[in-house]
Structure 1
Amino acid sequence: MQVQELLKTNSVANKFVSQLRDVNVQGDKMRFRRNIERLGEILAYELSKELDYHKKEITTPLGKSTLSIPEDELVICSILRAGLPLHQGLLNYFDDAENSFISAYRHHPANDEKFEILVEYLASPSLEGKTLILADPMLATGRSFSNVLEALEPMGTPAKIHLVSVIGSDEGIDYLKSVFPENSKLWIATIDHELDKNGYIVPGLGDAGDLCFGNKLQH
């Protein structure tokens, strides 16, 4: 799996990531969601450079113009619930994409720091021969992405797989490299180097789902 890290090159994305991390800004849920959405747009733009294109002649009021137009059949699959604003950012640019939604959450059976990833809901079109974009803002252990890939297997075999995330960990990325096809690619804003004992990214930004939509009861 290839990895493309956005913040290796300075851009306006630095501002959006800094606001996502900042405890003095995180209380503004609308800004938090919008910043994830904007990063989704930037990552979509970068990802678009690796799609397949075909030439198309366009008729203007004054003549004709030939442009290269993306031809991939895209399916954007987001992991509920934190993936929703990231999904919207991708959909803003890939507006004719099909859409898939799946739930994947941390279940703590013993009410301690140990957890398993459970997948309980899936709505998806066929993936056969299409370009699959998996979106989840936080890539901690990598288990959510791998469990989702397994759950999607009955939907068909995609021609290409792209993963899109905002903040990830070295450990999670190393794990994904062991389970995803070699020709898949991860598009991510920035990578941190540590996971704490609860499997959260450090320094990270906290729980993206709670910061987007409010605290949830644990189960």
Structure 2
Amino acid sequence: MATLPPNAHVSTHPCLQAKLSQLRSASTSSKDVQTLVHEIALMVGYEALASGLASIDDGTDKSPLGYTYTKTTVSPSSSSISLVPILRSGLSMVPALLSLLPAPVPVHHLGLYREKATLQPVEYYNNLPYHGPTATNPHAGGPAELAIIVDPIIATGATACAAIDTLKDWGVKKIIVCAVLAAEGGLERACGEWPEGVQVWVGGCDKEVDEKGMIRPGLGDVGDRLFLTLGK
């Protein structure tokens, strides 16, 4: 593997690598694809959040035996974190990341697809709250301190870069990208979009993409495999 940027992190966990190998197989059923993506997302997310969050004291409580202990929570706080799945396959990673965080966080969806001829991303949906709280809508939220992008695949890197740019324009201070698999070139491109503000964590990294922009050997079209739309 080529020397990757310092903000690129490729897991070497043996159990993750074994699950990734299972996910690569064309014989793996849609149900098992969903399970494997979830499990890999848990493992990638666990590593990413260990690096991207800090633990802080949060008052005291009592144990079942009546002993006082210091409660712990995370920084940034849950109210300052947004989870951003890239539609549609990013939805498969949302439950895993939510289960890792100690409290619920807002989930803001971005819809991006690659135009077939140019392989460039086209945004078709965005529900980021661009306006802060107002008198008529006190629950509206402004930009998060930390945004966590989830998308199983980073192939050419164009979609990841578009999402990073959107969130940077929104005003986030820091971005963590979690993916199941990346291509080397796409991973480098995503890491270079905002080097001081972005950390990219992936389960594995393949050498290249083919002429259609698909990772080789890769995982195929993960969205189609997840949602049984192969051959559409």
Residue 76 (structure 1) aligned with residue 83 (structure 2): yes
Q: CA RMSD in A?
A: 2.0
Judge conservation of contact 2:191–2:198 (CA < 8 Å) in 1. no
User: TM-score with structure 1 length normalisation?
Assistant: 0.87
Structure 1 unpaired stretches of 5+: none
Judge conservation of contact 1:104–1:120 (CA < 8 Å) in 2. yes
- 1:97 is matched with which residue? 105
- 2:30 is matched with which residue? 29
After TM superposition, the structure 1 = structure 2 runs for residues 178-217 of structure 1, keeping only pairs within 5 Å, are 178-215=192-229
- 2:136 is matched with which residue? none
Judge conservation of contact 1:163–1:185 (CA < 8 Å) in 2. yes
Q: 1:185 to 1:154 in 2, by over 3 A?
A: closer
Structure 2 unpaired stretches of 5+: 1-5, 130-140
Residue 19 of structure 1, aligned match among 10, 18, 22: 22
**Aligned to 2:156, what secondary structure does the other structure show?**
coil
- 1:86 is matched with which residue? 93
Cα distance, 1:82 vs structure 2: 0.8
Residue 118 of structure 1, aligned match among 110, 119, 122: 122
**Aligned to 2:95, what secondary structure does the other structure show?**
helix
User: TM-score with structure 2 length normalisation?
Assistant: 0.82
- How many pairs does the alignment contain? 209
Q: Identical aligned pairs, as a percentage?
A: 23
Residue 5 (structure 1) aligned with residue 5 (structure 2): no
Residue 151 (structure 1) aligned with residue 166 (structure 2): yes
Q: 1:117 to 1:183 in 2, by over 3 A?
A: closer
Q: 1:43 to 1:107 in 2, by over 3 A?
A: same
Residue 173 (structure 1) aligned with residue 184 (structure 2): no
**Aligned to 1:150, what secondary structure does the other structure show?**
helix
After superposition, give the CA deviation of every residue in 1:35-94 in whole Å (9 maximum; x if it has no partner): 111111112211221202211323112211224321312111010011111122111212
